Structure 1
Amino acid sequence: MWTETDLIEIIHEFPAVANEALHAIQQGDGKPPDLDSFNAAAAVLNTDAAELCVNLLQSTGFSDAFVQALLARGIEVDTDVPENARINLAGMADFLQRARTFRCRVEVDDTFRGTGCLVGPGLVLTAWHVVRVQGPGVEQNPEPKVTVVLADGSKHPAGVPPSYASPCGDREWINEAPHADSDVLDRHDVALLALRTPAARHLGFAHLPPVPPAVVSRSKLYLLDFPKGQDEQLGEGTTWKIRKVTARMRHDIETAEGSSGGACFNSRFELFGLHQGRQQRGPGRNGGKLDDGRLVPLSLFAADVAELIGKDIAPLELWHLDGENSQLVIGRDLFVSAVAAAGQDDSRVRGVRVKRRNVSSGDETGLGFSYRILNELLLRRGGEHLAVRIPLDEPVSDLVSDIFQRVQSAGVAMNAIPSPGGVDPGQAAAEAAARDQANRLAAAVNEAATKTGRTVWFFVDNPSVPLSEPARLHLEGFVASCLVQPRIRLVIAGLETLPLAGLEFSGPDAARADGPPADGGSGPPGLVVDYVGGFTRQDVLNCLTRAAESLAGQADQQSIEAMTQVALVGSEKFNGVYRDATLSTVVTRLQPYLQVLRESAGTTI
C-alpha cells in the first residue's frame, strides 16, 4: 500500500479529496479536522501541512482508515510490489568493475556540464539539456563544442547536433517538473553523442537490454554520475512513481548539478534510464525543500536509439581501422556486413570464407588484412566476442592440441577435451578418428564459451606450407563441427582448394532469403564467400564519403569525385577492377584530403 511519502504526495495533489477523507474518518462529536487546520498549524511550526497531517494520523492510529477513505474516493493505489532486496554479489562485482569504465564526463565549450555513459564503442548517452545552450525550439548558431572525457582521461569531440536528440519539456528547461504527461509528450530529454575520434574500446560500454526493463516503483536503483563534477562513486536508492506523470519517475538518490545525464541501472544491473533533474516533494519540517531525483525511463526512447547503437557495435560498413590514419578499408563491405550477420545468435551465417580471385598470383594481401578488419570489428563488441588466430605457416603434428592451446592462451578457460566416445585412432579409420577428435574439441570450446557468455571466432590462415594429411582431416572435421556450435564463428582465409562443409552464401541477404527464424533465415548454416584481389572506383568513393561524414559531418560529393580521380590516376584496371597492388599508392594519395577533413572538424584521428 502507500508509504508516508505517498500519503504526503496525495494530499498535495488531491487536497479536496484528502479533506473529504479526513471528514469521513472523524469519530465522536468533535469538529472534524481539515486541511485548513493543518495549514494554520504548519505556518506556526514552519513545517509542511501534509506532513503534519500524516504524522498525526499515524500517531492516533487513523492512517489505515484514511487510506481506505482515499481508495473509496477513487484515488488509485500503486500496485507495484517491492522487489526482493537481495543482490547478486557476483553480478554486483562485475557491474562495479565495468561501471568505472563506461561512465564519462560531458563538457560544453570546455566547461563540465553533466554525465554520460558509453553505450557503444563510439556512442555516449546523456541528457539533451546537458549539451544545449539554447532551450527547446530555439536554433543554436553557432553550435557549441561538445567534448566527452572518458574514464582513462582521454578527450573526444562529439558530433553536434547529436545522432539522436529528443528535447526536454519547456518546464523542465527552467528547472520545473512536468505536471502531466502532456507537458513532455514525445520529449524525453535524451541525446546520443557520436564521438569523432576513436573511443578507447578497452573501456567497454553499457549494453542496451533487448527488452527495456519494466517501469515499476519501489525497486532498487543505481546511478552513475558526477555530482558537481566530483566522483562520488555509486549512487544507490529506490524508484517511485510520480502521480499523473508516467513519462518520468522519481528516485531518492542524492544528486547535484552535474548529475544530469547519469545512467540509471536496476537491481539486475540493466540500463533503466537517465537521471534528468530534481522532483520537488514539498517543504520539510525545518522549512527546507524535500527534493527527489527525476529520471527518464529507457522504455520511452530505447526503440529510437537501438538501431544507431546496433550499427555502432556491429557496423555494416567501415572506412578505416580505428586509430590508424593510413589503414583505410576499401572494397570490403561484404566482409564487414557478413561479420555483423554472423554475430547474431540465430543467424544461418556462421562466418566468412575469404577467397582470392586469382589464386595463382600468390598475393595474400587481402587475406591477411581480413584478420585486422575482424579484430577491429570484434573489439567494438566490448569483449563478448574474441578472435583466435590459427596460423598454418609450419607443419603441426597435432592440430587439435594446437588449437586447444591457442584458445586457452586467448583467455578462455578450457576443460580437458572429453575422451573419445567409442572412436579411437587405433580402432577406426584415420578420417573417422580425426573427425571425432575435432568434434570433441569444438564441443569443448563451445561449452567454455557458453559458460562465460562469449563467442569465439576462429580465423584460419592460408597455409604457407603444405598441409599434412592429419592436419587436413582435423581441419575439415573441426570446420564442420564449428558450423553447428552456437558460440563459435569462423573466418577461413584462402584454402580455396580445400573442400569444406557448410553452405556458401553470396551475402547475408541470401542466407535470410528463406525468412524466419527471427528473420535470420531457416535451413543449414554456412559461410558468406568474400572474394578479394581488387577494388573498384565505387569502393574508393564509398570510403571517402564515409570518411567525410564521420570527420566533417557531411560529404561534398564534388570534391570526393575529384579526389577519387586524383587517387586513381595512372592505375591500371581490368573490367573496372583495380589490382590490390595499387591500393597502397591510392591510400597514400588520399591522406592530404583526409587531413583537410580532420582539420575542418578539429580532430586528430
Structure 2
Amino acid sequence: MLTVGKMRKALVAHEQVIRRALTALFPSPDEPLSLDAIAMGVEEEDGEDLADMLLATLNQFGKVPHFISYLRARGADPVPLPRDRIFARNIARFTGIEIGEPLHPSFDLGALGDFAARAEAFRCRITLDDAAEGSGAFVAPNLVLTASHVLDRLFAPRADDSPAPRLGIIASDGERYPATCVQRWPYHDGEVNGALPPDGMAQTHVDIALLRVFMPLGQAYGCIDVSADPPDFVGPSMFTLVHYPEGRETGFVSGRVRRDGPGASRLPHDIDTAGGSSGGPGFDRDLRFLGIHQGRWQNVRRLVPYERFRDEPRFRALIEENSKLRFLWSLDRNIEGPLIIGRRQFNTGLAAMLEKPTSRLRGIWIRREDTNSIRGLGFSYDMLEAYLLLHERPDAVLPHRCIRISPSLRTTDLLADLAQLALEDDLAPEALPGTGDGQTTDVAHQESRADALMQAMQRRAEAKGQTWWVFFDNPPNGLSPDVQVQLEHIARHLPTRANLRLILAGYETYRLAPLRFGNVAEADTARRAGLLVEELGPFTRSDVEATINAMITSLSPEAELRPARLQEMTEMSLQGLVADATGEFSGKDLGTVAAQLRRQVKAFLGVDA
C-alpha cells in the first residue's frame, strides 16, 4: 500500500521520475497536472506537505495503481518488497521430470529486487469475456506476448451465430483493456499429450501469440527486452516464472529449468503451475528472458524457448514496427487522447535529431503565419515532451531533459533564470576572463556570459549522458532590450553545443541569428549548426490524410488501408468544412476535424465508439 510516508521517500529519491509519471498519466494539455501545480495547492499551515497533496490527487483521479506501475517500470518502486520476500512461500515443486541440480542454486537478491519491481509492472492477465485465461507480458508499447493455446476458445468453431468471446487484458494497474490478436503461431497437436513437435516443425510451431491493445501501456509500464540475445547455457539452472496461476496475483516463483543445448524445442521446468499460468514469461538465473510457459500438459511443465521465435520474421517485424515512432499523431498514442494534425515539419525535425544526434540540426524554430494567434505554441512543448517520452526505454537512464522558460517584460536577467532552471543553482553565469562588467562593451559582456553558461550546461548534460532540450515560450508582451540581447546570444551559442537543443516558439519579430533550415536534408550538408523552421498556420487535406495513415500504421499495421478508403475517411473527417482558395482549412476547425477523424479511425479498426 502506498502511504504518505512512502511517497515522501519516493519524492526524495525519484523526483524526476515522478515528474515524468505525471506527464505520462495526465497528458491532456487541457487538464495538465504537474508536480509544481500540485505543490501550489499544499496548505502548509494545516500541516500538509507535497507528499500529502500528491497522494490525495492520485487517489482523487484513481491513478495510484497506474502511478506505482509507472515507477516500478523505471526501478523506482515506491512500495518495494523486502528482498527475502520476493518469491512466494511454500510453493510445491513438480517432481514428474528430472531437472538436476543447478551449479548456482540461488539468485542475486539485489538484482532480483530491481527485476521484481519491473516485472510487477510489465506482466498482465489475458482474459476472454472478462475471465482470466492466461498470463502475458508487454514486449512493445502496444503488444503483449502470450501462448497461442491461451486463445483456443477465441478461435474455436461455433455451430451457431454466437459472437466470439471478448479478448482483453488486465494490466498491472488493475484496469481492463480490450485487445485484438495480431498474429498467432500454432502449437503441434501432439503437444496436448506431452509430445514434442516432430523434427522440422519446432521452428514453425512455437505456440506464441501477439496481442495488441490500443493504449501504449508497454511504454508506461515497461516491456521485456526481445532484442537481446537468448541465454546460452547447458544443463540445469535456476529460473523464475512471472505468471497468474488460476488468474490469481501471487508472488514470483523460483524453480529449476533444464536446457540440453542449442536447438532445444522445449525446456522442462519444475514449477508447479496451474490454469492461467500459460503464456507467463520465464527468466534465467541472470534474469534474462528465457521463454514463455507453455502449460502443464500431462506430466510436463515446460517453456517455449525464446531462441525459437526471436528471429521469426513476422515476430521481428511486428515488434520493430510498434517500437519505432516517427510521426506523433497523439500525445500518448492513445486513440482517445488529443490528436495532432498538421505538424509534420515538427515531427520530422524531432525524428531527425533523435536518429542523427551528431547532425548539424540542433533545434526547431516554430514561426506563426498569424503572429496575433498563439494557437499551437504552448502545445508544442507538450508534443516535445510526449515525443521524447515515447522514445525512452523505461528501464534505462533518462536520455533527455526538457527545460522550459517563459521570459517576459518582467524578466531582468534571462541568463540567470536559465542557469537556475538548468543547473539548479542561484549563481548567475560569470563572463569569461577579460570580458567582465566594465572590461568591454555590455553586448560583448552579455555574449561572454551566454557562452560561459552554454559551456556549463554542455558539461553537465554530457556528464549525465543526456540531451537537454531548452524550450522558449513566446513572450506575451515582448522583452526588454537587455533581455532581447541575451536571447540573441543564447540563440547563437546554444546550437553549437553537442548535447543541447533549442526550441523557439514564436519570436518572429526578433532578429535572431541561428542558421535556418527549410528541411532536414539541408542540415546534412551544412557547415554549422542551425534550426529547422516550422511555419505554423492552416492545415490541409494531406495533413488529415497523414494523421489517419499514422494512426492506422501505429495501431494496426497489419490492416490494409486502400486509397479509396483513405479518401473516404478524409472526406468524412472534413465534413462540413470549407477550404479557402488555396485548399487550406482554418486552424480554428482542428477540434471539429479531430473529433470526426477519431470516429472514422475507430470505425475502421472496429473499436467501440
CA separation of 1:456/1:118 partners in 2, compared to 1, >3 Å: closer, same or farther? farther
Residue 504 of structure 1: aligned partner: 517
**What are the equivalent positions in structure 2 for 1:160-175 lying under 5 Å apart?**
160=181, 162=182, 164-172=183-191, 174-175=192-193
Residue correspondence of structure 1 range 255-294 to structure 2 within 5 A: 255-278=273-296, 291-294=300-303
Provide, for residues 177-219 of structure 1, a one-character-per-residue CA deviation record: whole Å limited to 9, x for no partner: 42555231233322222113x2457842125254323432355
CA distance in 2, matches of 1:140, 1:372: 50
Does the CA-based 8 Å contact 2:366-2:506 persist in structure 1? yes
Q: Indicate yes or no: 2:573 matched with 1:602.
A: no
1:438 Cα deviation from its structure 2 partner:
1.8
Q: What is aligned with 1:226?
A: 244
Given the alignment, which residue of 584, 594, 602 partners 1:587? 594
1:406: Cα distance to partner?
Answer: 3.7
Distance 2:167 2:372 in 1: 49
State the Cα distance separating 1:157 from its structure 2 match: 0.9
CA deviation profile, 1:248-275 (whole Å, cap 9, x unmatched):
3334444332222222334554444323
The whole-number CA distance in structure 1 between the counterparts of 2:560 and 2:401 is: 33
- What is the rounded CA distance, in whole Å, between the counterparts of 1:574 and 1:459 in structure 2? 35
Is residue 184–residue 210 contact of structure 2 (8 Å, CA) maintained in 1? yes
Which of 584, 601, 605 in structure 2 is aligned with 1:577?
A: 584
Conservation of the 8 A alpha-carbon contact between 2:545 and 2:566:
yes
Structure 1, residues 425-480: CA drift from partner, whole Å, max 9, x if none?
446742223201221023213323x3xxx654433323332261463156236622
Cα displacement (A) at 1:556: 7.2
Shift of 1:107: 0.8
More deviation in 96-105 or 320-329?
320-329
Q: Does 1:444 align with 2:451?
A: no
Instruction: Give the match for residue 487 of structure 2.
Output: 472
**Partner residue, 1:24:** none
Q: How does 1:59-458 map to 2 (within 5 A)?
A: 87=108, 89=110, 91-133=111-153, 144-160=165-181, 162=182, 164-172=183-191, 174-178=192-196, 182-196=200-214, 198-200=215-217, 203-208=220-225, 210-217=227-234, 218-242=236-260, 245-278=263-296, 291-298=300-307, 300-301=309-310, 304-322=314-332, 323=334, 325=336, 327-344=338-355, 348=359, 352-356=363-367, 358=369, 361-380=371-390, 381=392, 384=398, 385-407=400-422, 425-426=436-437, 429-430=444-445, 431-448=447-464, 450=465, 456-458=468-470
Identity of aligned residues (%): 26
| Residue of structure 1 equivalent to 2:4 | none
- What corresponds to 1:542 in structure 2? 546
Larger deviation, residues 425-434 vs 257-266: 425-434
**For residues 347 and 323 of structure 2, what CA distance do their matches in structure 1 show?**
12
Q: Which amino acid aligns with 1:504?
A: F
Find the aligned partners of 1:267 and 1:159 in 2 and give their Cα distance. 33
Q: Is the 8 A contact 2:569 2:597 kept in 1?
A: yes
Q: Which amino acid in the other structure matches residue 187 of structure 2?
A: C
Cα 1:420/1:226, change in 2 over 3 Å:
farther
CA contact (8 A) 1:126 1:192 kept: yes
**Structure 1 residues 126, 308: CA separation in 2 closer, same or farther (over 3 Å shift)?**
same
User: Is the 2:140–2:219 Cα contact (8 Å) retained in structure 1?
Assistant: no
Alpha carbons of 1:88 and 1:581: their partners in 2 closer, same or farther (altered >3 Å)? same
SS of structure 2 residue aligned to 1:317 = coil
Mark the CA change 1:102 to 1:558 in structure 2 (over 3 Å): closer, same or farther.
same
Among candidates 467, 473, 479, match of residue 461 of structure 1: 473
TM-score (norm 1): 0.67
The alpha-carbon deviation at position 116 of structure 1 amounts to: 1.4
In 2: Cα distance, 1:270 partner to 1:490 partner:
39
Q: 1:156 is paired with a residue of what secondary structure?
A: strand
- Number of aligned residues: 493
For 1:340-362, what per-residue CA distance to the aligned partner results, in whole angstroms no more than 9, with x for missing partners? 4433475637664143362x543
State the shift of 1:103 in Å: 0.9
Corresponding letter in the other structure for 2:302: G
SS for the counterpart of 1:443 is helix
State the distance in 2 between where 1:310 and 1:474 align. Answer: 41
Q: For the Cα contact (< 8 Å) 1:273–1:295, is it kept in 2?
A: yes
Q: Give the letter for the 1:204 counterpart.
A: Y
Shift of residue 541 of structure 1? 2.8
Q: Alpha-carbon deviation of 1:134?
A: 7.2
Q: CA distance change for structure 1 residues 425 and 408 in 2, over 3 Å: closer, same or farther?
A: closer
- Deviation string, structure 1 residues 497-543 (Cα, Å, up to 9, x no partner): 55455773723x666x78xxxxxxx9976654433212211222333
Deviation (angstroms), 1:233? 1.6
> In structure 1, how many angstroms separate the alpha carbons of the residues matched to 2:536 and 2:595?
20
Q: 2 CA distance for matches of 1:220 and 1:458?
A: 47
Cα deviation for residue 128 of structure 1 reads: 2.1
Structural RMSD (CA): 4.5
Contact 1:228/1:257 (<8 A) preserved: yes
Q: CA deviation at 1:555?
A: 4.8
- 1:119 counterpart SS class: strand
Match in the other structure for 2:55: none
Unaligned runs of 5+ in 1: 1-46, 56-80, 281-288, 515-521
CA contact under 8 A between 1:95 and 1:269: conserved in structure 2?
Answer: yes
- 1:3 match: none
| Residue identity in the other structure for 1:155 | R
CA–CA distance in 1 between the matches of 2:377 and 2:286?
42
- Opposite residue 466 of structure 1, the aligned amino acid is L
Quote the Cα distance in structure 2 between the aligned partners of 1:390 and 1:491: 11
Cα displacement (A) at 1:154: 1.1
Give, as a single letter, the amino acid of the residue that structure 1 aligns with 2:459.
A
Alignment partners' CA distance in 1, 2:484 and 2:532: 26
User: 1 CA distance for matches of 2:261 and 2:473?
Assistant: 62
Task: Name the larger-Rg structure.
Answer: 1
In 1, distance between residues paired with 2:318 and 2:432? 47
Match of 1:533 in 2: 537
Query: Structure 2 CA distance, aligned partners of 1:421 and 1:154?
Result: 56
Worse overlay, 497-506 or 229-238: 497-506
With over 3 angstroms needed to count, the CA separation of the structure-2 counterparts of 1:222 and 1:494, relative to structure 1, is farther
Q: What SS is found at the alignment partner of 1:184?
A: coil
Instruction: Give the Cα separation in 1 of the matches to 2:142 and 2:474.
Output: 33
